[in-house]
Amino acid sequence: AATYAGLPRAGRAGAGEPDFDYLLGLAALESGEPARATVAFERVLAVAPQHLGARLDMARAHVALGQDGLAREALQTLRTMDPPPAAARAIQSYLEVLDRRADPTRWSAWVEAGMGYDTNANNSTSASSVFVPALGVAVNIGTSSTARKDLFAEARAGGDVRHEINPRVALVAGGEAGLRFYDDVDDLDTGDYGGYVGVETKHGRDVVGARFRYGRTRLDYDPYRDIVALELTWRRPLSAQTQLVSFAQHSALRYQQPADKPNDSNLLLFGTGVQHALDAAGRTLLSIG
């Protein structure tokens, strides 16, 4: 962004030169200014219409601006220009993004399974006794209240759906469920299920969302704990493949068995981080938060 901020002043002398205009457009695009990037790329293509880099990055700018028709036209033109393999893969990735965006309703689903060994399945102390100062003696702890080790197997599945009402507003919903089974300590078998509904809105470069989430955990097939949560999220693109993500979440944890009621609690979380896509289609993300 700092580099781009300094370029327009120098641009009075450099504007009209393809190499300079291409770097100016690229700096604008990476600084989250796709509209200004298109102006620079247009100057490049007016002088050098076979400039593959300018055509590809012009398509990227159109994608960022939501101008999918122009982006698709530019990418299809690029395909006819015999691009090198790396550029061809990037073109295909962007066309796949446009295909997904063409449908106002998109969904995804996933499943996973695994097995392992839990050294403390019941989240308890490994000590066999504790010293009670008020009594001045050590009290033995029953084996059911100390750490229990066991093999387990688990499976999870989930999915989500997104429907765009218009370019600025989208409805979202999803859910997931999972099971964990232990070999010996089967009284600790757990299951959980839940889901969410929400809305996302675009305000210029910013995307703001709100979700209502509900989840239930069952322990040994009996209701154990419910979670009701309200989530607020905010995303802002920092470049074509990098975005800032922040959130706030308020959760109410309510235990279902009378003996566990003293553990009822409320939890308030705040967080922020950065996500960077390692490929043009955004299939692989690096996140820091």
Residue 12: predicted pLDDT: 46
Residue 5: predicted pLDDT: 54
- The backbone torsions φ and ψ at residue 61, rounded to the nearest 5 degrees and listed phi first, read -65, -40
Residue 141: predicted pLDDT: 62
- The backbone torsions φ and ψ at residue 184, rounded to the nearest 5 degrees and listed phi first, read -105, -50
Tokens, residue 229:
């949560």
Residue 224: predicted pLDDT: 94
Tokens, residue 93:
């990735």
What is each CA distance from 275 to 43, 170, 289, in whole angstroms?
A: 32, 21, 9
Tokens, residue 153:
């197997």
**pTM for this one?**
0.62
Q: What is the per-residue burial (b if ≥16 Cβ within 10 Å, else e) of 227-251?
A: bebebebebebbebbebebebebeb
* Euclidean distance between CA atoms 9 and 22, whole angstroms: 16
pLDDT tens per residue across all 289 residues of the chain: 445 555 555 554 556 688 888 988 888 888 878 888 899 999 998 888 888 888 888 888 888 887 888 888 888 888 888 888 888 888 888 888 787 777 788 889 999 999 999 998 877 776 666 666 777 766 666 555 677 889 999 999 999 999 989 878 999 999 999 999 999 888 889 999 999 999 999 988 899 999 999 999 999 989 999 999 999 999 998 887 889 999 999 999 999 999 999 999 999 999 999 999 887 667 788 999 9
Q: Which residue has the tokens 């938060």?
A: 289
Q: Which helix (H) or strand (E) segment is 239 a member of?
A: none
- Rounded to an integer, what is the distance from CA 75 to the centroid of its chain? 27
Candidates 167, 30, 188, 15; CA nearest to 104 is 167
Q: What is the CA radius of gyration of the chain?
A: 27
Residue 140: predicted pLDDT: 64
Bridge partners for 149 per DSSP: none
Helices (H), the chain: 2-14, 18-30, 34-47, 52-65, 68-79, 85-102
Residue 1: predicted pLDDT: 47
Q: Are 53 and 83 in contact (CB under 8 A)?
A: no
